[in-house]
Amino acid sequence: MSILKVARMGHPVLRERARPLEPSEISTPRIQRLIDDMFETMHDSQGIGLAGPQVHESIRLFVAGVDEEDAGMSPVVIINPEITPIGTEVEEDWEGCLSIPDVRGRVPRAVEIRIRALDRHGTPIAMTASGYPARVVQHETDHLDGVLFFDRMTSFDSLTFLEEYSRYWTGKET
């Protein structure tokens, strides 16, 4: 496995709508290796999610989650996702992004969502997610549409560097 280069804000790949993967592509050695490399890159960067465009691959694929029991999200591969909010409840909370290093901001997201997608074997999957996993799935799906987290912010008052977030915002409600 390899650590992939992560595209940073400003690279055009992060602002493009990624193309869907054809079912016949999913099982190819290239895509299977890419999935493994994306997990490796995400873990190396201490992230919770990583989308294809973030590693210069404009395809509708993301990986998310970690193996640790207390992380709140088991590892998952999501291909060609369709996300639907369940209900109208929205919650604003902190987000960061591997493509925008050392920056945090509060982003409103649906609290509960329904996901329809393909898994790493091309098998259709359907599931629901709520709370933190729902936030991660929405964040990564945004990457597939060329959207960055601050595009969703309703106010830039909370936009902060990680060092200041740790110093001034940790535990503070806004």
16: annotated active-site residue: no
* Residue 130 CA from chain centroid, whole number: 15
Contact 3, 129 (CB under 8 A): no
3-state secondary structure 146-169: CCCHHHCCCCCCCCEEHHHHHHHH
* Long-range CB pairs of 64-69, under 8 A, 24+ apart, other chains included: 64/133, 64/136, 64/137, 64/140, 65/133, 65/136
Q: How far is CA 89 from CA 18, 29, 73, 110, 112, in A?
A: 28, 41, 21, 6, 8
Q: Which of 57, 140, 164, 173 is the catalytic position? A: 140
Hey, which residues are catalytic here? Answer: 140
